[in-house]
Structure 1
Amino acid sequence: MTMAANLVEPAELKKFSGPQRAAALMLALGQEHGAPIWEQLNNDEIKELSAGIAQLGRLPAVAVEHLLVQFSSEVSSMSSLHGSYETTERLLSGILGEDKVKEIMEDIRGPSGRTMWDKLSNVNEAVLAAYLRNEYPQTVSVILSKLRAEHAARVLSELPSDFATDVIQRMLRMEPVQKEIVAEIEQTLKSEFMTNLARSQKRDPHEMMAEVFNALDRSSEERMLSALEECNAESAERIRALMFTFEDLGNLLTASIATIVKNADKREMALALKGAPEEIRELFLGAMTERAAKMLREDMSAMGPVRARECDEAQTALVRLAKSLADRGEIVLVDPKSDESMIY
Structure 2
Amino acid sequence: MSEDVARPTAKLSRVEKAAILLLSLGETDAAQVLRHMGPKEVQKVGVAMSHMTNIHKEQVEEVMAEFVDVVGGQTSLGIGADGYIRNMLTQALGEDKANNLIDRILLGGSTTGLDSLKWMEPRAVADVIRYEHPQIQAIVVAYLDPDQAAEILGQFDPKVRLDIVLRVAALTTVQPAALKELNLILEKQFSGNANSTRTNMGGVKRAADIMNFLDSSVEGPLMDSIREVDEDLSGQIEDLMFVFDNLADVDDRGIQALMREVSSDILVLALKGADDAIKEKIFKNMSKRAAELLRDDLEAKGPVKVSEVEGAQKEILTIARRMAESGEIVLGGKGGEEMI
**Does TM, scored on the shorter chain, surpass 0.5?**
no
Quickly name the TM-score band, shorter chain normalised: 0.3 to 0.5
What TM-score do the two structures reach when normalised by structure 2? 0.41
